[in-house]
Structure 1
Amino acid sequence: MTTALTAPSTAERIRSACAKAGGAMLAAEGTEPTESPVHHLLDDGSFAITVPAGSAVAAKVVSAGAAGVQAVLEMTDYAPLPLREPVRSLVWIRGTLHDVPAGEVPPLLDLVASEDPNPALLQVNSTNADDGGGFALLRLEIDSVVVADSTGAESVGVSTLLGARPDPFCAMESGWLQHMESAHREVVERLASRLPVSLRRGRVRPLGLDRYGVQLRVETDEGDHDVRLPFTKPVDDITGLSQAIRVLMGCPFLNGLRARKL
């Protein structure tokens, strides 16, 4: 007998956070934290990341040579709505930073762009040389990966991370939740009716949406409470997602049919 999955795995949550995070901070020993606009997981289990070409961390990595530099990449997953506590989760990737040899920069850029066409890739210097602007391309060899949210912290192995995929709806999640909040409060209210009575006194906001269900944030005077409303089964496309949400709402017209006018 198999148990239906009702929430993303830790590895799936991390992959989705990597895909959604607009920016990340890189903390390397002996340097100030530096913004990293590109952070892409490669098939070999390392991360391709970018830092300003003229930054202290870029210079330190080059001078370190084959030894590399110990560093931590921190990614923050923010809620799409202006909540009291906007951070949904934090991901910390600890490992060793290495410079990418000049001859390997163009093909690695092409590889990353084919999977994640981030506009910041256009600003990477093709030889990683500091020409007074742009970004340098580095590689972070992973030692450990940890994610933390309101439920606690958990680590995941690199092989497990490579075997997971981002949620199929993570790219559109922000737009959907913002639209739900601004134009379809009745949907939020119908979903809120599924909550325990003790939580219905607070302000209910849409917090998350994935192939396994919907998350709501209940803001009360006593604090915030996050509740997951799982779908009956995971969904993989827009049609399945729309139907699953209607089921959660208790809508009798599961296929989008309209009630016949009398």
Structure 2
Amino acid sequence: MSAATCPEPTPAERARSVLAAAGSLTVTTRGHRVELIGLHTVDAAARLLLHNPPDSHLAAELAVAPKGDLATLVEFTDVAAVAVRERVRSRLTLGGWLSALGPKNLVFHPARAVLTEDGGTTVIGLDELSLASPDPLARHEAEMLARLDAAHAHTVAPLARLLQAPEQLGATDVRPLRLDRHGLVLRLETPGSHHDVRLPFATPASHPGEAVRQIHDLLAEATARPRGRHLPTRS
């Protein structure tokens, strides 16, 4: 299957996955820039709820806002679970307004969404964002990638045999970069650059256990192939 035909999540689905998996975010208003860690939730309609910390200035700034809401920029940074070159995989920026939701919570009303990844920027419609679902592996991806990388010699290195020879040209290392219901993305690093290659699953995985089975299937296919040229195995 060529790279052009490999199924992968849509930008809206990737944005929803970032929302679902992120443990922190940055909130910027006219008066403050606040980093919130473990203080937000996202509901089924992609509505962002902020749990206002006691020392946050957001509630105080909102209290004196002329119309009871506050123009706000919310930023999420998606960082690879594995230590690779250029570790930031994407950034999701939401523009909109904050308003109060009870005595301790704030609700963010998005007006625009922008996903930046691979050097490109995609504006995502709000209806598209609210209708999209996060990938079923999003909340488990970091742990699963870390486990794959820890077993590099037995998992990731053999998987490189599934890549075409031109894709391996000049590569000195291969690392697991992304995992979603459609497949696994490997990052191939050369001394001065890198490129990413997707290994598609035979069928989409609906839960982590099914993704593990699909990876085992890919491993079985890889180990059945002649070794030929292979990338160095890290200790």
Is the structural similarity TM-score above 0.5? yes
Q: Is the 8 A contact 2:188 2:194 kept in 1?
A: yes
- Please state how far the C-alpha of 1:53 moved relative to its aligned partner: 3.1
Max radius of gyration: which structure? 1
Partner of 1:68: 69
Query: In the comparison of the two structures, how many residue pairs are matched?
Result: 219
CA distance in 2, matches of 1:190, 1:34: 40
Q: Is the 8 A contact 1:91 1:146 kept in 2?
A: yes
Partner of 1:120: none
Q: Are 2:135 and 1:167 aligned?
A: yes
Which stretch of the first structure deviates more once superposed, 36-45 or 69-78? 36-45
Q: Is the 8 A contact 1:45 1:158 kept in 2?
A: no
Which consecutive unaligned segments of at least 5 residues does structure 1 have? 106-126, 129-136, 254-262
Q: Is the 8 A contact 1:45 1:159 kept in 2?
A: no
SS of 2:155's partner is helix
Q: Is the 8 A contact 2:6 2:198 kept in 1?
A: no
Which stretch of the first structure deviates more once superposed, 4-13 or 32-41? 32-41
CA distance in 2, matches of 1:98, 1:144: 16
Partner of 2:29: 28
Q: How does 1:11-160 map to 2 (within 5 A)?
A: 11-35=12-36, 37-42=38-43, 46-64=47-65, 66-100=67-101, 105=102, 127-128=103-104, 137-150=105-118, 152-160=120-128
Code of the residue aligned with 2:185 in structure 1: it is Q
CA distance in 2, matches of 1:143, 1:223: 37
Aligned Cα RMSD in Å? 2.6
Kindly, what percent of the aligned residue pairs are identical?
30
Code of the residue aligned with 1:213 in structure 2: it is G
CA offsets, 1:174-195, max 9 Å, x none? 2221111112422211221222
- Please state how far the C-alpha of 1:252 moved relative to its aligned partner: 8.9
Which stretch of the first structure deviates more once superposed, 63-72 or 32-41? 32-41
Which consecutive unaligned segments of at least 5 residues does structure 2 have? 224-235
**1:74/1:229 CA distance change after superposition, 3 Å:** same
CA distance in 1, matches of 2:150, 2:45: 42
**1:38/1:157 CA distance change after superposition, 3 Å:** farther
CA distance in 2, matches of 1:42, 1:252: 40
